[in-house]
C-alpha cells in the first residue's frame, strides 16, 4: 500500500523551529524552515543532516514551502539554502516573500552585529535565498512538477499566513502553519474547503485552551487606554514589531477616530515602517472591513499614529506609545518604561506573554521595586495591565478546522506534548480518526488508500447506464460488465467484445449441461410436450417456447428429451444453459 511519511525536524511536540518533512507519492517536501528562539547554538536550526549526510539537499527535496514570515517558521531558510545548499523551488505567499527578508535581516543584524557571532548568513545570502522563492496566490493551484501540486488557503494569524494543500495523485496532505479561526481587527479567519486530505498537519499551540470572546478583551483594552488618557496619563504598550502591533494600531486608530480623541499615538520606528508599507499593499489579505473601505481610506494609513522620537517621551500631556521589544527586556520600550514608571497616572499594557526573567514578567507578577543595573532601584508606581492578544487557533478553533477539512488522519505539531495528548484524545473521540503527535526526528507513517483512475469507453458507460434502473444513484455502487485491460501504464475498462478484438483472442462460450433421468412411458415428443405444458403452468411470467425441432426453450435454457438406449421408459432430459449472472430460481421442475 502507498504510504505518506511525516517527520518533524522541529516543532514535533515543541514550539519553535518549525520544520516538517513530508514524503508523499515519492515526493519529498519540506514544510517551513524555522529557527528556535530559545537557543544560540546548533540547536537553533533544524538538523538538516538528517535529510542527507553528504550530497546536496536539492537532490532529496522537491520543494520547500514557508507558511508565514515568523522567524520560527522561516528563520533557517537562508542557512539551509545558502550554507547547507539547496537550489530547488521555495514557495511562499506574496506578503511573506515581501516581509520575510526584513525580519531575516533584522535577525541577522542582532546576531552578528550585536552579539558578534561569526559563521552566520550574510545579507547577500538572504538576497540570494529570496531569489529562489516562487510566490503563491491564495487558492491558486501551483504545479511544482508533473505530479506534485500545491494550493494555498488563507490562515489568518499574520499578514500572508497560509495553509497549504499538497497533492500527489489522489493523496494529499494539508499543513496549516499557524492559523487563527477568529477574525481580528486586521485579518480574517482561516478557511479551507472540504478537501478531505489524508493527513491534516495542524499546529496546536493552544490545544488546551478555549478563549474568551475577542470583544471583551478589545473593549477592556480600549477602556483602559481611554481612562488613562482622560486622566492625563501616558500609556506604554510594548510590542513585537509585526503582527499584533498592527492589530493594536488599527484598534486604537479606529477608536481614536470614533471617539474623536486628540491625544497623540506614537510608534517607535524601526522595521515597522517598512512592514507597514507592505500592510498597505496587501489589502486583499486583510479582513472584510479593511478590504471594503480601503478605496476611501486605507486603514493602515494611520491618521493618529505618528513616528516616535526619543525626545517625545518627556513631552507633557497624555500619549500612547508602542515600543519594541515586547518583553521590556531591552531597547526603547525599557527606556520609556524607566522614565514613566514613577508616575501612578501612567500605565503599561503588556499585550503578550513574557518570558521569565524579563522585566515584563516581573512587573506582571506584581513586583513594585525593580533592581536595575548599577544597584539602582526603580519604584514602579504606574499601573500594569495585561491583555492577551494572540492569533493562534484555540482548541475549539482546531476542532472547527478539522470539521471543515474532514481529514482522514490528524497530525499535531507546534505545541507541548502534554497539551497535545489531551487534544489527541478529543479528536479521536469526536471524529473517530487517527491522530498522531510525533516528536522531532520521529517518523509517522500513514498508509493511504488511493483511488486508481481507470478510463472507460463512453459507449460502454452509456450502455450499462441504460440497463440499470431509471437513474444512477450515486450513493449505491453499481456493478457493470466490462473487461479491465492493463496496458503499459494505463488502465482501461472496455466491453468484452472490444477487449477480445484488441487482444486478438477468440470468444469462448461456456455452456452448462446436465442430464436428468425420468421414468416416463410416453414417446419422446409426448414427454417433451408434457414437460412443456407443465412448465407453462408452473412458470408464469417467463417465455417458454416449444420449437418444432424438438426442443423447449425457457428463456435461454434449452431442454431436449431423448430415450435412454437401454430402457425406452427412461427418458434422458438434457438441460443446457449458458453462463449467466442472472439466476432464475426454481426454474428446474421438481424432477
Partner 1 sequence: MAAHLKKRVYEEFSKVVQIPHEETPAKKLRLSKPSKSAALHIDLCKATNSTDALQYLLQFARKPVEAESVEGVVRILLEHYYKETDNSVRLKIASLLGLLSKTQGFSPDCIVDDAINTLSNEKSHQVLAQLLDTLLVIGTQLPESPALRLRLVEVAYKHLSDTYFGVRNKCLQLLGCLGMVDAPVGKENEGPGTSLGGLRDVQSIISDYFGDQDPRVRTAALKAMLQLHERGMKIHQIIYDQACRLLTDDYEQVRSAAVQMVWVLSQLYPESIVPIPSSNEEIRLVDDAFGKISHMVSDGSWMVRVQAAKTLGSMLQVSPHFLEQTLDKKLMSDLRRKRTAHERAKELFASGEFSSGRKWADDAPKEKLDTNTVNLIASGACGAFVHGLEDEMFEVRIAAVEALCHLARSSPSFAEKCLDFLVDMFNDEIEEVRLQSIHVLREISTHITLREDQLDTVLAVLEDSSRDIREALHELLCYTNVSTKECIQLALLELLKNLNKYPTDRNSVWKCLKFLGSRHPTLVLPLVPELLSTHPYFDTPEPDMDDPAYIAVLVLVFNAAKSCPTMPALFSDHTFRHYAYLRDSLSHLVPPLRLPGRKQVYGLDSVDSGPGSGSVESAQLFLQQSLNRVSTIQNLEASGAQDLLDLTIRDLQRLGELQTELAGAADFCATYLRCQLLLMKALQEKLWNMAVPLCLKQNVTATAAAQQILEETYKLEFLYSGLESRQVATIHHVRLQAKALQLVLTSVHTSHCERFLQDVESFQRLFLTELPHLQDSFVDKLLELMPRLSSCKPVELVKILQTTLRQSGLLQLRLPEQIHRATATIIEPTGESDNPLRFTSGLVVALDIDATLEHVQDPQNTVKVQVLYPDGQSHVIHPKPGDFRKPGPHRHRLITQVYLSHTAWTEPSQIEVRLLLAYSSSSTSLTSPSKLGWSESLESLPAAEAAVEGTIPFSKAVKVFIMPKPARR
As annotated, the active-site residues are 203
**Three-state DSSP class for 447?**
strand
In the list 5, 27, 127, 211, the residue contacting partner 1 (rule: CB under 8 A) is: 211
Min separation Cβ 238 and partner 1, Å: 14
Alpha carbons 203 and 169: distance in angstroms, whole number: 25
Nearest CA-CA partner of 70 in 112, 10, 114, 125: 10
Q: Distance between CA atoms of 397 and 190, rounded to whole angstroms?
A: 9
Residue 383-402 contact track with partner 1, rule CB under 8 A, x = bound = xxxx--------xx--xx--
Residues 215, 387 contacting (CB under 8 angstroms): no
Q: Is residue 32 a contact point for partner 1 (CB under 8 A)?
A: no
Give the Cβ contact number of residue 279 at 10 Å.
25
Instruction: Return the number of the residue (393 or 561) whose C-beta is nearest partner 1.
Output: 393
Cell numbers representing residue 30 in the block = 519540506
Q: Residues 453 to 482: which contact partner 1 by CB under 8 A? A: 465, 469-475
Q: What is the per-residue binding string for partner 1 in 231-270, x denoting contact by CB under 8 A?
A: -----------------------x--xxxx----------
Task: List Cβ neighbours of 270 (8 Å cut-off, separation of 6 or more).
Answer: 241, 324
Query: How many residues at the interface with partner 1, by CB under 8 A?
Result: 60
Question: How would you classify residue 286: left for phi > 0, otherwise alpha for psi between -120 and 50, otherwise beta?
Answer: beta
Determine, following the binding rule CB under 8 A, whether residue 563 of this chain makes contact with partner 1. Answer: no
Alpha helical stretches, state H, 341-450: 359-364, 395-405, 417-431
Using the rule CB under 8 A, give the single segment among 121-129, 191-199, 323-331, 538-546 that binds partner 1.
191-199
Q: Is 446 in the site for partner 1 (CB under 8 A)?
A: no
CB 476, min distance to partner 1, A:
9
Taking the chain, what is the end-to-end CA distance rounded to the nearest angstrom? 52
- Kindly state the smallest distance separating residue 142's Cβ from partner 1, in Å: 23
CB of 381 to partner 1, least distance (A): 13
Strand 383-386 vs strand 347-350: parallel, antiparallel, or unpaired?
Answer: parallel
Which of residues 173 and 363 has its CB atom nearest to partner 1 in the complex?
363
Shortest distance in whole angstroms from residue 434 CB to partner 1: 17
Residue number with CB closer to partner 1 (471 or 510): 471
Residues 278-307, one symbol each (x = binds partner 1 by CB under 8 A, - = not), give ---------xxx------------------
Given 188, 233, 351, 438, the residue binding partner 1 (CB under 8 A): 188
For the CB of residue 12, give the shortest distance to partner 1 in the complex, in Å: 20
358 sits near partner 1 (criterion: CB under 8 A): no
Distance between CA atoms of 337 and 381, rounded to whole angstroms? Answer: 11
DSSP state of 43: G
Q: Which of 371, 441, 396, 447 is nearest to 2 (CA)?
A: 447
Beta carbon nearer to partner 1, 65 or 350: 350
Taking the least distance from each CB to partner 1, the nearer of 132 and 426 is 426
Residue 383, all three cell numbers: 499601573
Q: Are 267 and 307 in contact (CB under 8 A)?
A: yes
Min dist CB 102 to partner 1, Å, is 27
Q: Which stretch binds partner 1 (CB under 8 A): 92-100, 325-333, 378-386, 548-556?
A: 378-386
Q: What is the DSSP letter of 260?
A: T
208 binds partner 1 (CB under 8 A): yes
Give dist(CA 307, CA 301) in Å, integer: 12
Task: Give residues with Cβ within 8 angstroms of 356, minimum separation 6.
Answer: none
Tell me which residue of 431, 440, 433, 435 sits closest to 422, measured CA to CA: 435
Closest CB to partner 1 among residues 124, 365: 365
Q: Give residues in contact with partner 1 (CB under 8 A).
A: 182-183, 185, 188-189, 191-194, 208-220, 222-224, 226, 254, 257-260, 287-289, 364-366, 383-386, 395-396, 399-400, 403-404, 419, 422, 425-426, 430, 465, 469-475
Amino acid at each position: 500500500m502507498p504510504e505518506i511519511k511525516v517527520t518533524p525536524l522541529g516543532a514535533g511536540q515543541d514550539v519553535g523551529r518549525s520544520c516538517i518533512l513530508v514524503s508523499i507519492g515519492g515526493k519529498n517536501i519540506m514544510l517551513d524552515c524555522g529557527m528556535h528562539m530559545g537557543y544560540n547554538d546548533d540547536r537553533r536550526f533544524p538538523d538538516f543532516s538528517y535529510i542527507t549526510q553528504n550530497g546536496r539537499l536539492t537532490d532529496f527535496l522537491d520543494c520547500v514551502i514557508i507558511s508565514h514570515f515568523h522567524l520560527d517558521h522561516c528563520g533557517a531558510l537562508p542557512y539551509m539554502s545558502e550554507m547547507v545548499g539547496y537550489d530547488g523551488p521555495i514557495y511562499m505567499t506574496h506578503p511573506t516573500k515581501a516581509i520575510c527578508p526584513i525580519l531575516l535581516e533584522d535577525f541577522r543584524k542582532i546576531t552578528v552585529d550585536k552579539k558578534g557571532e561569526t559563521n552566520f548568513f550574510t545579507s547577500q545570502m538572504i538576497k540570494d535565498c529570496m531569489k529562489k522563492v516562487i510566490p503563491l496566490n491564495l487558492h491558486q493551484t501551483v504545479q511544482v512538477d508533473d505530479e506534485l501540486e500545491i494550493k494555498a488557503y488563507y490562515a489568518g494569524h499574520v499578514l500572508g499566513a497560509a495553509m497549504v494543500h499538497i497533492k500527489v495523485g489522489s493523496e494529499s496532505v494539508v499543513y496549516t502553519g499557524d492559523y487563527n479561526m477568529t477574525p481580528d481587527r486586521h485579518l480574517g479567519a482561516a478557511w479551507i474547503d472540504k478537501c478531505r486530505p489524508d493527513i491534516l498537519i495542524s499546529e496546536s499551540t493552544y490545544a488546551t485552551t478555549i478563549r474568551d470572546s475577542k470583544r471583551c478583551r478589545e473593549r477592556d483594552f480600549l477602556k483602559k487606554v481611554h481612562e488613562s488618557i482622560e486622566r492625563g496619563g501616558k500609556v506604554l504598550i510594548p510590542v513585537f514589531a509585526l503582527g499584533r502591533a498592527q492589530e493594536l494600531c488599527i484598534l486604537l486608530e479606529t477608536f481614536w477616530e470614533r471617539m474623536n480623541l486628540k491625544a497623540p499615538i506614537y510608534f517607535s520606528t524601526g522595521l515597522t515602517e517598512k512592514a507597514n508599507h507592505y500592510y498597505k499593499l496587501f489589502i486583499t489579505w486583510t479582513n472584510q472591513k479593511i478590504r471594503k473601505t480601503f478605496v476611501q481610506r486605507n486603514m493602515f494609513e494611520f491618521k493618529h499614529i505618528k513616528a516616535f522620537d526619543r525626545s517625545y517621551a518627556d513631552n507633557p500631556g497624555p500619549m500612547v506609545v508602542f515600543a519594541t521589544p515586547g518583553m521590556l527586556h531591552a531597547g526603547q520600550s525599557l527606556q520609556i518604561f524607566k522614565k514613566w514608571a514613577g508616575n501612578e497616572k501612567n500605565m503599561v499594557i503588556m499585550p503578550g506573554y513574557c518570558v521569565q526573567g524579563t522585566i515584563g514578567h516581573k512587573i506582571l507578577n506584581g513586583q513594585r521595586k525593580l533592581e536595575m543595573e548599577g544597584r539602582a532601584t526603580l519604584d514602579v508606581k504606574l499601573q500594569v495591565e495585561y491583555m492577551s492578544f494572540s492569533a493562534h487557533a484555540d482548541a475549539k478553533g482546531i476542532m472547527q478546522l478539522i470539521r471543515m477539512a474532514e481529514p482522514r488522519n490528524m497530525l499535531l505539531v507546534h505545541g507541548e506534548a502534554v497539551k497535545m495528548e489531551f487534544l489527541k484524545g478529543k479528536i479521536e473521540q469526536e471524529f473517530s480518526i487517527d491522530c498522531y503527535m510525533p516528536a522531532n526526528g520521529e517518523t509517522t507513517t500513514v498508509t493511504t488508500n488511493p483511488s486508481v483512475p481507470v478510463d472507460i469507453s463512453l459507449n460502454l458507460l452509456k450502455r450499462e447506464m441504460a440497463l440499470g434502473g431509471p437513474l444512477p444513484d450515486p450513493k449505491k455502487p453499481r456493478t457493470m460488465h466490462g473487461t479491465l485491460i492493463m496496458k503499459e501504464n494505463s488502465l482501461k475498462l472496455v466491453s468484452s467484445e472490444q477487449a477480445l478484438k484488441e487482444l486478438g483472442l477468440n470468444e469462448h462460450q461456456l455452456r452448462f449441461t446436465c442430464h436428468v433421468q425420468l421414468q416416463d412411458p410416453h414417446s419422446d415428443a409426448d414427454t417433451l410436450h408434457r414437460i412443456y405444458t407443465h412448465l407453462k403452468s408452473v412458470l408464469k411470467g417467463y417465455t417458454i417456447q416449444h420449437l418444432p425441432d424438438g426442443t423447449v426453450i425457457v428463456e435461454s435454457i434449452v431442454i431436449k428429451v431423448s430415450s435412454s438406449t437401454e430402457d425406452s421408459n427412461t427418458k434422458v432430459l438434457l438441460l443446457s444453459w449458458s453462463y449467466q449472472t442472472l439466476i432464475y430460481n426454481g426454474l428446474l421442475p421438481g424432477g
